[in-house]
Amino acid sequence: MKKIAVFADVQNLYYTVRQAHGCHFNYAALWADIGQRGQIVEAYAYAIERGDAKQQQFQRILRNLGFEVKLKPFIQRSDGSAKGDWDVGITIDIMDAASRVDEVVLASGDGDFAILLDKVRATHGIEATVYGVPSLTAQALMRSASRYVPIEGALLLKS
């Protein structure tokens, strides 16, 4: 059975799904979809810790599905902007997992990950699947994936 590692960029998914579809991403549907293609042996969800109860409940839901939730503190800059970027952490974890699995799944539309997927595919000969919102996923990221899955239909949580 194919061994799969899953990496979910929670902030990217939240904002792109909300912007394009006006709803939330269905992590349970993602898990089920991936699980049909093999065994999920590692799964990480990268989020920002704001300390509010609603977010902590969401993190519990992710853990109950099987994700290890990795948190970074929410940083409010003095100019009012915010920082909470997991790109380096996601990159390190994908590079680390690539030698142990047959496929990495990245749920994000962030084009910065395109060179990462090119690298792990070339170095380890593994598959790389990307789940992303079609209108908000970088073309370079779609090209670097061996498989692209648009976030639509059952992958959306309609209220």
Share of the chain above pLDDT 70, in %: 96
Rounded alpha-carbon distances, angstroms, from residue 123 to 120, 127, 130? 5, 11, 18
The reported pLDDT for the residue numbered 83 is 62
d(CA 95, CA 3): 15
The reported pLDDT for the residue numbered 74 is 76
- Mean pLDDT score across all residues of the chain: 94
The torsion angle over the Cα atoms of residues 153, 154, 156 and 158, rounded to 10 degrees, is: 90
Joined together, the tokens standing for residue 120 give 């792990």
Residue 141 inside a domain? The answer is yes
As a whole number of Å, the end-to-end CA separation of the chain is 35
Residue 4 inside a domain? The answer is no
Contact predicate 39/4, CB 8 Å? yes
Residue 5 inside a domain? The answer is no
pLDDT, tens digit (0-9, with 9 covering 90-100), for 99-126: 999 999 999 999 999 999 999 999 999 9
Q: Which domain covers residue 74, as residue numbers?
A: 11-157
Cα atoms found within 13 Å of the Cα of residue 69, Cβ hemisphere only: 19
CATH number of the domain where residue 40 is located: 3.40.50.1010
The reported pLDDT for the residue numbered 92 is 98
Does 158 score more than 90 pLDDT? no
pLDDT, tens digit (0-9, with 9 covering 90-100), for 8-66: 999 999 999 999 999 999 999 999 999 999 999 999 999 988 888 999 999 999 999 99
Residue 6 inside a domain? The answer is no
Overall domain count for the chain: 1
Q: Which residues pair with 130 in a beta bridge?
A: 106, 148
Rounded alpha-carbon distances, angstroms, from residue 82 to 56, 58, 123? 20, 21, 35
pTM of the model: 0.94
pLDDT, tens digit (0-9, with 9 covering 90-100), for 74-88: 777 777 656 668 999
Does 128 score more than 80 pLDDT? yes
Beta-carbon contacts of residue 18 (< 8 Å; ≥ 6 apart): 24
